[in-house]
Amino acid sequence: MALLAPELVIRIVACIVPLYLIYSLLYPWYISPVRKIPGPWWAGYTKWWLVYKTWMGVRAKTIHDLHLKYGPWVRVAPNEISTADSEAIIPIYGINSDFVKTEFYTYQLRGIPELFTMADRKAHAKRRRELAHLFSMSTITEYEDIIARNVRECMNLIAAEGKHGKASNLYDWWHYLSMDIICDLSFGLTFNMLHEGAENPHVKDIYGSLEIEPVRWHFGWLNKYAHLAPFKFIRDAEACSVRGFERGRRIVHDYMHASEKSHRKDLLQKMIDARDDNGQPLPEDDLNIQATSFIVAGSHTTSSSLTWIVWRILKNPDMLRKLNEELDSALGTANRQDVPSHTFLEDLTYLNCIIKEGLRIDTAVPGSTPRYVPRGGAYINGRYLPERTIVSAQAYTCHRDPKVFPDPDRFWPERWLDETPEMRKFYIPFGAAGPRICIGIHLAYMELRVILAALFHRFDLSFAHYTSDESMDMHELWLANPKAQCLDVIAKERN
């Protein structure tokens, strides 16, 4: 076969390269099937700007600003769309949705599929069936003793600090308390973080492994080479992940082979007892990774929410007074040191409005919960999205739609006295209603009610020093927490 003359090759290349460049320049905004979805021009060409914002802990706020500018549909990266259209929630997240979780999830927790990370719909439905009863309203009452024991411990420690006029950093206390509760439930042993006043090594490893969340988000496929990474922080996070996994494995093994089992009322025992459709138990490694996932999902979420709610109440003396009146009338004034039973709290109107409003305005998972558009693409509210487009709605924006939540930046618990269907649809602190909604929702509400009631019923609280709004602003690495990681209060026992 005759070779092409070099000049001809050069001419062909000289034609193709500029054509390719022109095509690439035109593609995102003139040719792509999502060209009509608005957004900053650079988002059509690269996701790197979003990687940077993720790294800086301001991803959700940045996307929110884009929604304010461009409307309910925004293109945030070449292949990624954010929506704040209420008509989009059910098609993406609802019960019959074929949209599946992206690799953002699947690379977490050593890549071993578990309830939170599973993308495959059938596998997820199977696991959810196996575990759903562990979190039903009737089952979680069995965990109340474990919760109450830890709450009592925590309140006594706060009381001891207040007695000596010392400030209590509630951010820390809620962190230790929520960890001790969820570790107690998930691994069947107490990590004593409340008493130590410090993180347990296992918890340190679990959270250490999450340090590279933004890296995983965008470069999940590099995960298996993390131990070879040129950056020490990536190697360290990987080492935490390996150590955490091995330690968890030992804990589960010891738990399963311990001689004394009769008193157990925790999640781990219930997971061990769970059977799949063929009567098979969960393998030990699955128990380990599932328990670890519960710890990640059920600790920071609860503790950050508690910190923000207490801060909001203390800023509003009228709300504080109303809450105290409600608690006193429901629980009496004689035994303030008792941890209230959840049955007395479930129907307390004001307490529940406060919690709902707290989770609306300061959401522990404020950002995108990304899903892939299924095979064949999808039409949502008249918009076509090609298959494998990443699409998501973020709570931070849904919770701030002024048509649904008037005066959205105001903490206003009373708005929940008159809850509309639109509010229900756009209220997604635990994810949207559907197969992937938080399985721990009842447990979370139970913890929030019991802890807030125990705190406000027992103590007169005041800020220990000036606490700026800035310091309580969120920092977000998917899970969000108050920037300063500090809420110093003086807690005096009420009589």
List of residues contacting ligand HEM (CB under 6 A): 115-116, 128, 293-294, 297-298, 301-302, 305, 364-365, 369, 429-431, 436, 438-440, 443-444
Pick the closer one to ligand HEM by CB: 301 or 389: 301
CB of 461 to ligand HEM, least distance (A): 21
CB of 351 to ligand HEM, least distance (A): 15
Pick the closer one to ligand HEM by CB: 234 or 296: 296
**Cβ proximity of 350 and 386 under 8 Å:** no
175, 136, 425, 474: which is closest to 306 by C-alpha?
175
CB of 297 to ligand HEM, least distance (A): 3
Which position has the token pair 């308390």? 177
Pick the closer one to ligand HEM by CB: 208 or 429: 429
What 8-state DSSP symbol labels residue 248? Answer: H
Pick the closer one to ligand HEM by CB: 215 or 398: 398
Pick the closer one to ligand HEM by CB: 309 or 327: 309
Three-state DSSP at 422 gives helix
Task: Indicate if the alpha-carbon torsion angle 182, 183, 185, 186 is positive or negative.
Answer: positive
* CB-based closest residue to ligand HEM: 440
H-assigned helices in 210-316 = 213-219, 232-256, 267-273, 284-298, 300-314
Tokens representing 473 are: 């602003």
CB of 431 to ligand HEM, least distance (A): 3
Pick the closer one to ligand HEM by CB: 86 or 102: 102
Distance CA 375, CA 125 (A): 19
CB of 50 to ligand HEM, least distance (A): 17
CB of 476 to ligand HEM, least distance (A): 13
**Cβ proximity of 235 and 229 under 8 Å:** yes
Which position has the token pair 């999830």? 105
Distance CA 405, CA 412 (A): 10
422, 366, 369, 370: which is closest to 395 by C-alpha?
366
CB of 425 to ligand HEM, least distance (A): 15
- CB atoms inside a 10 Å sphere around CB 343: 9
243, 360, 382, 244: which is closest to 309 by C-alpha?
360
Pick the closer one to ligand HEM by CB: 151 or 464: 151
